[in-house]
């Protein structure tokens, strides 16, 4: 695992809320090294800092200390405008819920990201077709989010996360609102993308069944890394 290409390299990062009243060390001096092709789960009790850490790595929030290298670029040094652009090109996001823009169709939600990147029409169309095939929703292209099940919405969210061809995807509890069948289905798709397209996934979760399918599990407690284990055995079985 140490000889691969580093995608995420976080050094000594901390995030402190309410620094001037009762400080909350949401993320406390965390080191995290993720390599290309990983399929890693971030676990830990509620309030342990999973969301905060993902937000820091994704550049959605500013760290109070430390450096975060994504593809060898220190995102803590980027200006706000550059950071938005960086996110668009390099990182795919899947959130827990309300991932999609309700007024747009599934297809438009995915296309939207490519529009932001300035992709041409034929390119967008091809990519959308391909992504919807991968998530198994070719027949739902023109459905609005309200007409899709929670699982289907999350699959569209995964498609959208990949629309801009990022090398890795951050997902904060992507299965939290899904029944176990939909959750398994979403994991299947993520795993397939991980294997076939070498997309790196870092996702937080509470769900034991999801944790089992990760190849590496990083456990946070009180904002610090308490445990970091590889599930190679499990992986071999799959």
Ligand X SMILES: Nc1ncnc2c1ncn2[C@@H]1O[C@H](COP(=O)(O)OP(=O)(O)OP(=O)(O)O)[C@@H](O)[C@H]1O
Binding mask 133-172 for Mg ion (x = CB under 5 A): ----------------------------------------
Of 106, 114, 94, 164, the C-alpha closest to 132 is: 106
Q: How far is the CB of 157 from other proteins (least distance, A)?
A: 10
Which of the listed partners (ligand X, Mg ion, other proteins, none) does 18 bind, with a CB threshold of 5 to 8 Å by partner kind? Answer: ligand X
Of 72, 95, 67, the C-alpha closest to 158 is: 95
Contacts of 134 (CB under 8 A, 6+ apart): 159, 189, 192, 193
Which of the listed partners (ligand X, Mg ion, other proteins, none) does 46 bind, with a CB threshold of 5 to 8 Å by partner kind? Answer: ligand X
Q: How far is the CB of 52 from ligand X (least distance, A)?
A: 3
Q: How far is the CB of 111 from Mg ion (least distance, A)?
A: 29
Nearer to other proteins, 99 or 175 (CB): 99
Q: Are 5 and 36 in contact (CB under 8 A)?
A: yes
**DSSP of 112-142, one letter per residue?**
HHHHHHT--HHHHHHHHHHHHHHTT-GGGTT
Q: Is 51 in the site for Mg ion (CB under 5 A)?
A: yes
Nearer to ligand X, 44 or 145 (CB): 44
Binding mask 68-107 for Mg ion (x = CB under 5 A): ----------------------------------------
Task: Round to whole Å and give the CA distance between 40 and 218.
Answer: 7
Residues in the chain: 238
Which of the listed partners (other proteins, Mg ion, ligand X, none) does 79 bind, with a CB threshold of 5 to 8 Å by partner kind? Answer: none
């Amino acid at each position: 695992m140490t000889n691969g290409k580093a995608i995420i390299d976080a050094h000594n990062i901390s995030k402190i809320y309410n620094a001037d009243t009762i400080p909350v060390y949401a993320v406390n001096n965390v080191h995290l090294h993720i390599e290309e092709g990983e399929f890693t789960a971030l676990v830990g009790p509620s309030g342990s800092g999973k969301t905060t850490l993902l937000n820091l790595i994704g550049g959605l929030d500013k760290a109070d200390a430390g450096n975060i290298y994504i593809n060898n670029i220190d995102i803590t040094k980027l200006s706000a405008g550059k950071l938005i652009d960086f996110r668009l090109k390099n990182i795919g996001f899947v959130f827990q819920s309300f991932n999609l823009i309700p007024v747009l169709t599934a297809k438009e939600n995915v296309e939207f990201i490519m529009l932001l990147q300035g992709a041409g029409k034929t390119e967008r169309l091809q990519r959308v077709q391909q992504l919807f095939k991968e998530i198994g929703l070719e027949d739902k292209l023109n459905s609005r989010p309200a007409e899709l099940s929670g699982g289907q919405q999350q699959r569209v969210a995964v498609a959208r996360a990949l629309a801009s061809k990022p090398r890795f995807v951050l997902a904060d509890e992507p299965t939290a609102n899904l029944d176990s069948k939909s959750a398994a289905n979403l994991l299947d798709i993520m795993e397939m993308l991980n294997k076939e397209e070498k997309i790196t996934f870092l996702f937080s979760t509470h769900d034991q069944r999801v944790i089992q399918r990760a190849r590496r599990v990083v456990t946070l407690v009180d904002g610090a890394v308490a445990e970091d284990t590889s599930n190679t055995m499990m992986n071999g079985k799959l």
